[in-house]
Amino acid sequence: MQKFCLTVTCTSTRGVVAAVSNFLADHGCNISDASQYDDGETGQFFMRISFAAETGARLEELQADFAAVAEQFEMTWAFHDEAEKMKVIIMVSRFGHCLNDLLYRARIGALPIEVVAVISNHMDYQKVVVNQDIPFHCIKVTKENKPEAEAAIMRVVEDTGAELIVLARYMQILSDEMCQKMSGRIINIHHSFLPSFKGANPYKQAFEKGVKLIGATSHYVTADLDEGPIIEQDIVRINHAQSASDYVSLGRDVESQVLSRAIHAHVHHRVFLNGTKTVVFPASPGSFSSEKMG
């Protein structure tokens, strides 16, 4: 029995939920999990439904038949096969904690992703990556060659069919052109609890301010540096006795967790862009389970 999810965004209006539910029932589908949100300020309606095709309805059939319902309510919509793993490229520089965490989660099935390539501007993690049979691309970036370097990155994206780029502490600023081309498909981890302490050395900035909480923020990348729609955040408590280097070490764990949770939400189609913000629905039951351990 195939399992799918349906995502819908449209103007808030009466009858949307009934129309979608009736459509699925008429096509022999049983809803296992549903989330919805009506934004009273923007007038937008968001919905995500997980369901099983109990009578064998195929994805192509559902897509073709749903078009009439979608047209009636002027929906932005998509059906997704929950068995398919999203193709992901991870980009990293010289801090490897997020990369290692993501490779482990992908290997045990905790994240339903296929890492189709790792791109770096350094060679530090080549052996780690190729030992897991993942292609590694070292693409050096300088002020002089940035257009050529980004063109090389985009060739890897196109050749692999990657649907998502993850910046796992990749310490290069992407061009406006690349941000626009991959809009909604690049996720970054910022080692700070945005919107505070943007830019370089945020932990040092936090230390100098004597904060009692530090954190990490995962967001979609836009042309506005560190201003993209936020997907996930978390914090760790610190005190006056801890040094700036303690902040960095404590921050690594929270960065890894926040980034993995943001990717989990994205690949399960739980994140909806809502202007400069996001709507992030709760995870469906069973979606955190792993195929294996170790």
Token reading at 155? 């060739």
Candidate list 26, 224, 226, 253, residue with the active-site label: 226
Q: Rounded to 10 degrees, what is the CA torsion of 211, 253, 192, 186? A: -170
Enumerate the β-bridge partners of residue 33. Answer: 50
DSSP 85: P
CA of residue 278 relative to chain centroid, distance: 12
- Nearest to residue 213, comparing CAs of 260, 247, 253, 261? 247
Percent of the chain as helix, strand, coil, to the nearest 5? 35, 30, 40
The DSSP annotation for 196-226 comes to: SS-SS-HHHHHHHHT-SEEEEEEEE--SSTT
Task: Write down the number of H helices and E strands in the chain.
Answer: 8, 13
226 is an active site residue: yes
> Which positions are annotated as active-site residues?
226
